[in-house]
Structure 1
Amino acid sequence: MERGSLSNVLSNEVESKKLDWLKRVNIIKGVAYALSYMHLDCSPPIVHRDISSSNVLLDSEYEARVSDFGTYGYVAPELAYTMKVMPMCDVYSFGVLALEIIKGKHLEEYITVLANSSTIDPVQFSDFLDECLPYPEDEVKEVLDFIIKVESFCLVEAPKSRPTMQFISHKLSTM
């Protein structure tokens, strides 16, 4: 892929600034769609097990492509403890990845904050944004706010309480 991994783009100061809010939202939507497709439309369903910024490749137009199946990335707690593979493991990893895309880097402390909060107030909202980019416009801010709220549900400890990738992809496609 022309632009390489999302991880490399986010870690490069010059390249990461090219990832404006719309591009970041579209990357999140692309990954959500890919995971929804793998979980629902493949027979048998595919659980990726390694959703991370290193395994999302970007083409010349910053379209996301999910790659490198079967290794372990942002591992959901239940997978680490039980080694039971289920689609909700990918949902957890998607939540971590979406946070990394919005923040521009992976931050452990935000995972705990999101997993333990049901609402994000305006002061906290800005804490989740990449400081290298200007504050988002109203329309994009609304989508980012939704993504941050969904992330918090993706990161809950109980897998059955997480939304499905089909639900997430469908909601994002209407925004």
Structure 2
Amino acid sequence: MRKTISVSDIIEVAGLKRLVMNSIDKAAKQISSEQVAYTLFSKMKFGGVGFDPLDTERELNVLEQINQSFTYLASFNALEVIFELHPELAPLTLNLGTASGSDIESNCGTLAAEVFASVTPTNNQKLKKDIDKVAATSAKQKYVFFMCPNFEYGRQMNFERDGVKVWALTGAIKP
């Protein structure tokens, strides 16, 4: 499912983060209420546990919820960085889900960013592929943001190339 959201400031970002955290809380309550381990695992795999990160009324497989939740949180943290560095580019368009185009774009075409959450930035060559994708855009400001364990929050100049700035968001994980 593709979700396109226009975001104007960090206040809107905070509201989006609250939605994701509410969804996580609701799924955690479902998980903790199940008494039979096999039933719980069956529901986690096939449905009956989990919700859309932005809509707690829409059921979703919990494994997909986990993947989407962390990708969304990484995207929201990336928006905070962009608003801090480039407040003049607001509003920004956030493209969540599968679709062509950049994960985050300025409406004027000046900025393009890709965002991901993974165990390592090199997993499945994700960082390389995202840098290549952003480098190919005509945007003046080019970024790749990632959320991975064991990385300090901030710019990761050792990964940068082709005019693409790379940021680790791990230190920025905050509900």
Coarse TM-score class (shorter-chain normalised): 0.3 to 0.5
Higher RCO (CA < 8 A, seq sep 6+): 1
After TM superposition, the score normalised by the length of structure 2 is 0.38
